[in-house]
Amino acid sequence: MELYARRKFANRLSAVGAVAATGIGLCALGLILATLLIQGVAGVNFDVFTRMTPPPGSAGGLLNAILGSAIMTLVGTLVATPIGILAGTFLAEFGRYSRIAAPTRFVVDILLSAPSIVIGLFVYEVMVISMGHFSAWAGALALGIIVIPVVVRTTEEMLRLVPDSLREAAVGLGAPRWKVVFLICYRAAQQGMVTGVLLAIARISGETAPLLFTALNNQFWSTDLNAPMANLPVVIFQFAMSPYNDWRQLAWTGALLITAFVLGLNVFARILSGLQTRQQRWK
Amino acid sequence: MAKQSTDLAGMIVAAPVKRADIGDAVARAATWIATVIVLILLAAILVSLAIGGRQAFAKFGFGFLTSVSWNPVTEEFGAFVPIYGTIVTSIVAMAVGIPVSFGIAMFLTELCPSWLKRPLGTAIELLAGIPSIIYGMWGLLVLAPFLGNNVYPWLIDVLGPLPLIGALFEGPPFGIGILTAGLILAIMVLPFIAAVIRDVFETVPPMLKESAYGLGATRWEVVWNVVLPYTRAGVIGGVMLGLGRALGETMAVTFVIGNAHQISASLLGPGNTISSTLANEFTEAVGDLYVSSLIALGLILFVITFIVLSIAKFMLSRLELRAGR
């Protein structure tokens, strides 16, 4: 009897522990989002989107930082996406069993979780030193390097979901392999591949560490990719660490903007990939 | 079946040599070049960091790893303090994060009512995507003052006088320091590890679990004696992935660690990690040796995370093999 009581007790205890862990975890994360929302919304106004980042102690907005982030995210994504998609295509189609496929998959896995600050260091070594100054190009490149593994991985996975019967049917009709891949498989995997790019954008839009030594920061309006450029994450870093209330308020607002953007993009990507899997189930 | 059909497709790919389709050759070459670019990226990062850090390694040799000095004025640099901070914050993060994520995963797979499963799982996955700077900022402006005012004084009073572990909880309660950094890291990797462990738990064949339940096992016994042994490699892999993130995380840590080049026995004292040192000092570093030492730190960080992530990958692939069988 005592054994049963002990087993029952252990079972109860574990259930309570699991519920408590879930509660604590969700509370901590909910608390972060709630603080962010309360502090951030207080500072959302027209100025944030129309004025430049202010000098210490005065009011201003985040316009140049938002613009800088948008430009660098866009350039980084545009440069990295084709490379990522082509490499993913090689891994899934042309070179699925190639000798370089397995090592590439390993490298992609490592790059997916590699510390982003190290990628910043790498770009500093390769670009900033050779150009002699910090620049938005370097920032965009650093972000692009983070995009590549995400896109490679999702492209490969999505192409592998395309049923082989589809490929065989196309080949049977006399289509060359490149037409099979680019006109048939791509179309079947389209939504999933777009999802991958969206997730990659979500990933880099909050990245701070790789921009610290590449794009640096800029207090003014600048669209020159060859010069340091303001960007939201680094501005948030600088402003949140400062003792000035105006700056801290802007940091909260900027943090709210980034989080809303990232979460929104994630939700959108999820809906898209949901569509994809549903279509496949119907087939 | 699937294997056979790909082989068939492979044969057909080989056939168009006769037709000499230029499109195939171009497509193959283009995708191959992109793959090689990805492949050499990792090596390029390693090599460039090694070149950047060679001056520091040449000057200090292996002593660089064990030296505790970090003095930009006399140009004496050693990596021990940041390495120590990196490892200790990650240990704290794992000590807090692993049990909680395990609890969450267990709740999601075994206890949760089915209507709650999807929304809760989705919420956890979404939270894993929040940028780390948000965690750091919240840590600095909300968590650190709270801990410094309410929790740490209590810890110092209650645990400080104890033998052995007492030394870990001494000193003034700043609120900023190694322990706070570890806690923020724990909160940050929590959704990530929980999501991986949940995925891994779901690979357990229902028949195994049902057999155990049929023999009269309690839920806890099923989780502990059936689910966990079956998924051990995957769970370790997931934890290692989380550890890899914690080791290399920059922003969540830099805000709250205090940025002090010192090793204190107390967890409440300020410290430094490799990534926070880089984030704080790199753009202001003057002198070749200083910059080189910082890059050498980056190389050390990359090598450490490389090893941890490789183990994670190995563990997870072992589970995949079994799931495929």
Map out the domains of chain A as residue ranges: 46-282
Helix (H) / strand (E) containing A14? helix A2-42
Provide the pLDDT for residue A282: 46
Number of Cβ pairs < 8 A linking chain A and chain B: 284
What's the predicted TM-score (pTM) here? 0.89
Contact by Cβ (8 Å): B255, B138: no
Among B35, B36, B45, whose Cβ lies nearest the Cβ of A118? B45
Q: For B37-78, what is each residue's pLDDT tens digit? A: 999 999 999 999 999 999 998 988 888 888 888 888 888 888
What's the average model confidence in pLDDT over B124-131? Answer: 88
- φ/ψ of B182, rounded to 5, equals -65, -40
In angstroms, what separates the C-alpha of B141 from chain A's closest C-alpha? 8
Check A18 against B13: CB less than 8 A apart. Answer: no
Cβ pair B299, B53 in contact under 8 A = yes
Q: What is the ipTM of this complex?
A: 0.89
SS (H, E, C) chain B: CHHHHHHHHHHHHHHHHCCCCHHHHHHHHHHHHHHHHHHHHHHHHHHHHHHHHHHHHHHHCCHHHHCCCEECCCCEECCHHHHHHHHHHHHHHHHHHHHHHHHHHHHHHHHCCHHHHHHHHHHHHHHCCCCHHHHHHHHHHHHHHHHHHHHHHHHHHHCCCCCCHHHHHCCCCCCCCHHHHHHHHHHHHHHHHHHHHHHHHCCCCHHHHHHHHHCCCCHHHHHHHHHHHHHHHHHHHHHHHHHHHHHHCCHHHHCCCCCCCCCCCCCCCCCCCHHHHHHHHHHHCCCHHHHHHHHHHHHHHHHHHHHHHHHHHHHHHHHHHHHHC
A251 vs B137: CB contact, 8 Å cut-off? Answer: yes
Dig out the tokens for A99 from the structure: 């000798």
Rounded to a whole number of angstroms, the CA Rg of chain B reads 25
Q: Which of A86, A149, A237 sits opposite B251 (nearest CB)?
A: A237
For an interface test with A, give the residue of B38, B55, B151, B306 to mutate (most A CBs within 10 A). Answer: B38
Out of B38, B127, B279, closest to residue A108 by CB: B38
Distance CA B130, CA B128 (A): 6
In 3-state terms, chain A is what percent helix, strand and coil (to 5)? 80, 0, 20
- Of A35, A210, A198, A217, nearest to A115 by C-alpha is A210
How much is the average pLDDT of A137-144?
Answer: 94
**pLDDT per residue over B160-204, tens digit each?**
777 777 777 877 778 888 999 999 999 999 999 999 999 999 989
CATH number of A46-282: 1.10.3720.10
Q: Convert the pLDDT of each residue in A56-95 to its tens digit.
A: 878 888 999 999 999 999 999 999 999 999 999 999 999 8
Contacts of A277 in chain B (CB under 8 A): none
Distance CA B106, CA B122 (A): 16
